Amino acid sequence: MTVSTTPAAPPEPRVRRGRSLRGPLVTLGAVGVACVGLALRDPHRAGSYGWCPLQSTTGLYCPLCGGLRGTWDLLHGDVAGAWSMNPLWVVATPLVMVVWALWFQRSASGRTMPSWLASTRAAIVLAAVLLAFGVLRNLPALETFLAPR
């Protein structure tokens, strides 16, 4: 490593690596701070984080309803409690972690993310999944399983 023939080549990737790792690391830090704050203030108490305008005006459960409570449960190791709050979030959390790990690895090696993550199809799939989950958890037959209880 130290006996490299081109002395100008090694500093350049180091600078690029430091720059490119900023995104994943800043994201990790922000999520970590948010998780610490969330763990300190229990979202299960009503109104501890304000009131959802959609829930309080229409009574509907949005696709992310129970997300804060589910994250609090996950942070305390209560997967079943998190599942009862928002099953989609429990399913999505490992996927988000995998995407973050991919982002970190790609950034460390100086490569870009796979293009399908930002593709039209990915956007449509995300919208379809969220809208379908939002509709299903408001159906009376499925409310006991999918709505935050």
Partner 1 sequence: MTFPPNYPSEPENNQNDAGAGGAPQNPYAAPGGPGATPPQQPPAFGASAPGGYGAPAPGPYPAPGYPGAAPAYTDPYGQSTVKNSLGVWALVLGILSFVSCGIFSAIPAVIVGNKGKEAADQGLANNRGMSQAGVILGWIGIALTIVVVGIWIILIIVGVSVGSTSSS
Q: Residues interacting with partner 1, by CB under 8 A?
A: 50-51, 53-54, 62-65, 115-116, 118-120, 123-124, 126-127, 130-131, 134
Whichever of 59 and 77 has its CB closer to partner 1, that residue is 59
What is the closest distance, in whole angstroms, from the C-beta atom of residue 14 to partner 1 in the complex?
A: 28
Residue 38 vs residues 52, 67, 129: alpha-carbon distances, Å: 17, 11, 26
Whichever of 34 and 108 has its CB closer to partner 1, that residue is 34
What is the closest distance, in whole angstroms, from the C-beta atom of residue 7 to partner 1 in the complex?
A: 34
CB atoms within 10 A of CB 2: 4
Whichever of 18 and 23 has its CB closer to partner 1, that residue is 23
What is the closest distance, in whole angstroms, from the C-beta atom of residue 34 to partner 1 in the complex?
A: 11
CA nearest to 39, candidates 89, 73, 85: 73
Q: What is the DSSP string of 53-104?
A: HHHHHH-PPPTTTTHHHHHHHHHTT-HHHHHHH-HHHHHHHHHHHHHHHHHH
Whichever of 17 and 129 has its CB closer to partner 1, that residue is 129
Whichever of 64 and 102 has its CB closer to partner 1, that residue is 64
Residue 72 vs residues 39, 68, 79, 93: alpha-carbon distances, Å: 6, 6, 10, 13
* 3 state SS of 50: strand
Helix (H), strand (E) at residue 112: none
What is the closest distance, in whole angstroms, from the C-beta atom of residue 3 to partner 1 in the complex?
A: 35
What is the closest distance, in whole angstroms, from the C-beta atom of residue 99 to partner 1 in the complex?
A: 15
